[in-house]
Amino acid sequence: MKDVSELILPDGCGFHEEHTWARVDGEDVLVGISDYAQDQLGEVVFVELPETERVFAAGESFGTVESIKAVNELHMPVTGQVAAINGDLEDTPSLVNANCYERGWMLRVRPENPADVDALMQADAYREFLRRL
């Protein structure tokens, strides 16, 4: 497992305490799990994502991710409606391990309030949060 200092935590992403991230992309927000989460999980073998058009509140469970170690719930970092899911994860869930911030994104969400991303932890704050775990 990676040391906290080795984790990839890109600028422009906001991080939720349940280890999901959100990044504004046009009028939408992309959502996925953090490098910390995928590293802790190990090899991801299945991702269960919701139907499009479902609405979730920030912090609410929106699906699960299964690895060879465990099954974990996924938590929405911002309130909004699911506009699209990453269908590539159905056939290739390991994209979450290979590139969790780009090809391994999970949801495209139409946020109730795009400024909610700014209220999430930024990279430095999330790294400090992880050091306290």
Taking the complete model, does pTM exceed 0.85, yes or no?
A: yes
Q: What is the mean pLDDT of residues 39-45?
A: 97
Per-residue pLDDT, 114: 83
Domain ranges across the chain: 4-131
CATH of domain 4-131: 2.40.50.100
pLDDT surpasses 90 at 61: yes
CB 22 within 8 A of CB 117: yes
Structure tokens at 102: 């780009």
Structure confidence by residue, pLDDT tens digits, 109-122: 999 998 899 999 99
Confidence of residue 81 (pLDDT cuts 50, 70, 90): very high
Q: For tokens 């992880």, what's the residue?
A: 130
